[in-house]
Amino acid sequence: MTESENTLQKEAPPTFGCLNCGADLKFKPGTTSLTCEYCGAKNEIPVLDTEIEELNFHEYLRKHKAEGDTVEVQLVKCQGCGSECTLEPNITSSLCPFCTSPLMASSAQLVSVIQPKSLLPFKVEKQEAITAFRKWIKKL
């Protein structure tokens, strides 16, 4: 195992599986717990006391790039729609999440990206976002 793969495994983001049955949980904006669609169990969202600060992207790059705040990921460009997606280190092929075209790890390139320090929840429901997007599209 390479050092970058070892780093990714140690610093992988937490998974959000049901504590009762293991099913994937879906976040609902404005809630403090995740309710399992399969078994109905309530899974409390842990609240951390750390302050989340907004960082200036360009300033952060200048100061912290050399400090090791980055991780290496496999980046694959979709031949169907042109989007760029990441693949887990142990995945050799997948489907594009945007157009379902096949993605192959053999065409991936290893790139260095900033490791997120925080994750903020969405403030709007999925349907509300879709409605706002459609309204915006109609204005074009």
For 15-45, the pLDDT digits (tens) are 578 889 988 888 787 788 888 989 999 998 8
**Does position 132 have pLDDT exceeding 70, yes or no?**
yes
Q: Does the residue 39 lie in any domain?
A: yes
Q: Does the residue 131 lie in any domain?
A: no
Q: Does the residue 40 lie in any domain?
A: yes
Q: Does the residue 60 lie in any domain?
A: no
Q: Does the residue 139 lie in any domain?
A: no
Q: Are residues 41 and 75 in the same domain?
A: no
d(CA 70, CA 111): 10
Give the pLDDT of residue 50: 80
Q: Using alpha carbons only, give the angle 91, 73, 102 rounded to the nearest 5 degrees.
A: 45
Q: Are residues 42 and 74 in the same domain?
A: no
Q: How many domains, in total, are found in the chain? A: 2
Q: Are residues 42 and 71 in the same domain?
A: no
Give the pLDDT of residue 102: 92
Q: Are residues 6 and 40 in the same domain?
A: yes
Q: Which residue has the higher pLDDT, 108 or 136?
A: 136
Q: Does the residue 17 lie in any domain?
A: yes
Q: Does the residue 94 lie in any domain?
A: yes
Q: Does the residue 11 lie in any domain?
A: yes
* Confidence band of 139 (pLDDT split at 50, 70, 90): very high
64-116: pLDDT as tens digits: 665 667 778 889 999 999 999 888 888 888 898 889 899 988 888 888 877 77
Question: What is the per-residue DSSP string for 72-110?
Answer: EEEEEE-TTT--EEEE-TT-SEEE-TTT--EEEGGG-EE
Q: Which H or E run contains 37?
A: none
**Does position 55 have pLDDT exceeding 60, yes or no?**
yes
Residue 8: domain span = 1-46
- What's the predicted TM-score (pTM) here? 0.44
